[in-house]
Chains A and B, each alone.
Chain A
Amino acid sequence: MNDRIASSFNQGKAFIPFITCGDPDLATTKALIRAMATHGADLIELGIPFSDPIAEGPIIQEADVRALASGTTTDKLFDMVREVRAETSIPLVFMTYINPIFTYGKERFLSSCKEVGIDGIIVPDMPFEEQDELEGTCRSYGISLISMIAPTSKQRIEKVASRSEGFLYCVSSLGVTGTRETIDDTAKEMVQAVKSVSCTPCAIGFGISNENQAEHFAAFADGIIVGSAIVRLIAKYGRQCVEPVALFVESMKAAANRT
């Protein structure tokens, strides 16, 4: 297991923010990574913008549109990570659909990940059944392939967990990413089911947007992932988003550890 990822679950409940790279531009992304790293983030999920993000709700879809409109490409993204890696040792994982990896070239993509200091990848449209597509290449470059568990996984949990690396991304509820008013107990049962068969850390994401929810989910998971609520701040404040995002990250990390 990637040491940096393992260490992110060592400071209490992990707080994992997600941002879309290049929204509103890559300079802001870099500033956000630095600020979040010093304000309570334990690991940062970096979204590679995609033309057709089928697992995302409207908030992150719009971030992808903004990021692509600002001229973000995979090449520029690797350059940005290389620069920021010189200043921070926080674990960084890419969240990307499979097509940008496949079309860039699996070898070329994952060797670049290793070279610039990316620790893992999350590929939301590559389920267990298709994991062979990238697993070997990830392994040869020491990049953790992070698997997802959903409320519908049920009897698949053991199989998915058995090949998990880094941490397990538990999807809190049905549907796409986005903020939710209420979230039921499905997530708790799911995490308990995962814990009974695996010792890989479980982080919960999808729909977590406020301190109450952070506290609620952190009570039974090893970490929480927050995307849309942060992306919404970025949309609101544009290039001035660094401070409000840092304060939000700080408050969510504190809430997650209030239990």
Chain B
Amino acid sequence: MKVGRFGQFGGQYIPETLMHAVIELEEAYNHFKEDPSFRTELKELYAEYAGRPSLLTYAEKMTEDLGGAKIYLKREDLNHTGSHKINNVLGQCLLAKKMGKKRVIAETGAGQHGVATATVAALMGLECEVFMGKVDCDRQALNVYRMRLLGARVHPVTSGTMTLKDAVNETMREWTARIDDTHYVLGSVMGPHPFPTMVRDFQKIIGEEVRAQILKKEGRLPDYLLACVGGGSNAMGLFYDFIDDTGVKLIGCEAAGKGLDTEQHAATLAKGTEGIFHGMKSYFCQDLFGQIAEVYSISAGLDYPGIGPEHANLYASKRATYVAITDDEAVDAFAYLSRQEGIIPAIESAHAIAYAQKLAPTLSKDKIIVINLSGRGDKDVAAIARYKGENLYE
């Protein structure tokens, strides 16, 4: 099989100009991932800077309220910068430094990945530029300011739909213009090889920690793992260590936006078809002629028309299942977790909470669900208030 493939998915569908850069990256990654000093440095950054390991919190009130399976929350919201994105960014920026790169560029949707990249760039003394759709800049204004505060330049992207997909387009264009001193810190398990593999490797610590934590607390593996899916990095990070444990069911939660019967959703696996875009063969929301669709979700982080190729393979091979959660359900879950557990989830993560609300009551009390709480919801408070009709601005 060719490199960088997950079944038939993945690959390296990018302009010739970028091939040298991804080959150089793959070589460096293959070298450093086995390098003891690189591993030690990264481990120390995870522990001393990001705050790992993140907690596995028993959601007692939620469990009692739903009356079924026992629910645990993997607390990626407690990481520095407030989401799982820091795991990947620390890995890639450390690698970029080892490769002698002076500058990093990144795309961002909700702004979580952009903030994480700006943060680590500040820490490591790298120049940083972030591309963010104009629409997303408006709905996540606070994150834009946060990135600037951290010393990054933020470029609002005004092409296409002005959201995450266009931010990826623009970051790729920027990379083709300046490759020598620049590393593209791709934020999810997507894009051309080696990104899907490398990003998953930097995120798989989530699942590895869950395994150790749940074995300590419960003496056994969980029955269900739940995570929201846009590009799919927090889900891949949670799932990866459990792929061979076939008794553990893996469930990804996509954004159904205003409903699967409308045009306004971002449910790639429920509604998309196979295609080749952003460097990878995978599933995409598109029309009959291969034009990429405008997608929609209340969550800027899930508002993406594709999904990482390893998820495509987990889906095609039926190892994982994927469900779609609407805006309304996610907004309800956002409030639900806040009141039940005193934890405000990111609106992205609220999609996984919403599915747990449906799933847990159907299961017996001896079952265990682990939900990846991939980020905290402070960034979403004002937008959710507006969604509910309150005139609240940051």
Contacts and interface: CB of A to CB of B under 8 A. Distances in A.
Interface of A: 50-52, 54-55, 57-58, 61, 68, 73-75, 98-104, 124-130, 133, 147-154, 156, 160, 171, 174-176
A103 B272 CA distance: 11
Contact of B169 (A54, A156, A174): A54
Interface stretch (B81-89, B256-264, B284-292): B284-292
Sorted from nearest, which 4 A-B pairs have the closest CB atoms?
A103-B290, A175-B177, A100-B290, A150-B17
A48 to B, nearest CB: 9
B14 A127 contact: yes
Contacts of B2: 129
Contacts of A130: 11-13
Contacts of B179: 152, 174
A150 B288 contact: no
Given A102-B275, A103-B275, A103-B286, A174 B15 contact: no
A58 B276 CA distance: 22
B173 interface: yes
Nearest to A149: B16
B316 interface: no
Nearest to B19: A127
Nearest to B291: A51
Contact of B290 (A102, A149, A152): A102
A124 B173 CA distance: 13
A55 B17 CA distance: 10
Task: Please indicate which of the listed interface residues B15, B21, B172 has the most CB atoms of chain A within 10 Å of its own CB.
Answer: B15
Given A73-B289, A100-B289, A175 B173 contact: yes
A173 to B, nearest CB: 9
Contacts of B290: 50, 74, 99-104
24 contacts: A50-B290, A50-B291, A54-B278, A73-B289, A75-B289, A99-B276, A102-B276, A103-B286, A103-B288, A103-B289, A125-B14, A125-B15, A127-B15, A127-B19, A128-B16, A129-B19, A130-B11, A150-B17, A150-B19, A174-B17, A174-B178, A174-B179, A175-B173, A175-B176
Nearest to B284: A99
Interface in B1-39: 2, 11-21
B19 A103 contact: no
B273 interface: yes
Given A73-B289, A127-B15, A52 B169 contact: yes
B19 to A, nearest CB: 5
A99 B290 CA distance: 5
Given A61-B159, A104-B290, A54 B15 contact: yes
Contacts of A151: 17
A114 B273 CA distance: 26
Contacts of B289: 73-75, 100, 103-104
Contacts of A75: 289
Given A61-B159, A99-B275, A176-B177, A128 B17 contact: no
B360 to A, nearest CB: 39
B165 interface: yes
A174 to B, nearest CB: 5
B160 A52 contact: yes
A98 B290 CA distance: 9
Nearest to A148: B16
